[in-house]
Amino acid sequence: MQTKRERSKLGREKLQRIIEMCKSVEDRSLDPFLIDVDGVISTVKEYFPEWKIPDDLNLDAETIHRLASVIKLQSEWVKHRSTSLYTDPFLLEEKLARIAKEDMVEIFTKIWHPIIEFEQISLHSFAESLRYWESLLPLKERWKEFAPEEVETSLATREELIKQQILRDKAFSEELENFWQELKQQVETKGKEGKIRYWDFVGAETYEDTVQRAFMTSFLVTYGYATLEIIPLEEEIFVKPYEKQMAKAGKKQLISIPISVSVKDWLKWKRGELNE
């Protein structure tokens, strides 16, 4: 006896086949009456009670959609046959294959009425163009080249590079360690169950500082100093520091988690509206 699983599998295969058949009728201009519409409908009906998951219901809907397109083609076919333009295509193809090209041209010239159009400049537009040309500045005046500003060159000092934020005054690893300690401290004071809300940790007085803290937090997570805990339904993210730096995840696949740190979110956090 067929199990429920086997029956669903068979149903899916049948629907796939129907979809493919309808597609080929549409794409390759095949006779739409090749499809047995009643048969398709009874198959769709037969398997419909089996479908529970969205993928199967989608497949069912697509089958109905494709069938509707075929029925539309059948209706167009009937309409075309009832018009005066309908001729047996085989008869016409036969004629086309046998007719000499001179005869074909003779026939075509009898029923061809080419469009008449002029391409000629008027005196008015000619005068307009001359006026435009006269008022047009030469290219060298329109596209003036700007001489690059001369800049004096000299060696930059370490202090200047730190000031421009190209170099940091502390080594990055040292800075990361300090940040980790700060996280641990904040979890102790503001956190619960060894973790702290992401925004409560990265949020700072200015937006620039907040972005800087989010940047550093991403390194804490990547280098195994902390981890992120995400509760999707409540849309909450927590940062949880490790006691010791963790080694890399081994064979476990690493994933990236994009977190938006927009000005809008930062303002919401400042007003205390973010986690309400």
Partner 1 sequence: MSKRKAYYASKIKRAIHMLFYRRHKKPGVKGWELRKALGSDYPKVLKILDDYLKTLDLQVKTVFEEEKPVEKPTLEELDKARFYVTLRGELTPKETKMIGWRIDDLAGLAITIAYIISKKGKAQRKEVEDLLREKLPGWKVGLNIDRYIRYGYLTQDENEQLYLDWRTRAEVDQKALIDLLLTK
List residues near partner 1 by CB under 8 A.
Answer: 27-29, 76-77, 80, 84-85, 87, 89, 91-93, 95-97, 99, 101-120
Q: Which of residues 87 and 181 has its CB atom nearest to partner 1 in the complex?
A: 87
Closer residue to partner 1 in complex, CB, 112/132:
112
Q: What is the DSSP string of 127-193?
A: HHHHHHHHHPPPHHHHTPPPPPPP----PPPHHHHHHTTSS-SS-HHHHHHHHHHHHHHHHHHH-BT
Judged by CB, which is closer to partner 1: 111, or 151?
A: 111
Tell me whether residue 30 or residue 211 sits nearer to partner 1 (CB atom): 30
- CB of 81 vs partner 1, minimal distance in Å: 9
Residue 83 beta carbon to partner 1: minimum distance, rounded to whole angstroms: 8
Which SS3 state, helix, strand or coil, does residue 42 take?
helix
Sign of torsion over alpha carbons 80, 84, 86, 88: positive
CA-based nearest residue to 158, from 148, 147, 150, 168 = 168
**193 torsion bin: left (phi>0), alpha (psi -120 to 50), beta (else):** left
Least distance between partner 1 and beta carbon 103 (Å):
6
Which CB, 101 or 264, lies closer to partner 1? 101
Residues 216, 170: Cα–Cα separation, whole Å:
14
Pairing of strands 196-197, 236-241: antiparallel
At closest approach, how far in Å is the CB of 127 from partner 1? 17
Least Å from the CB of residue 149 to partner 1: 46
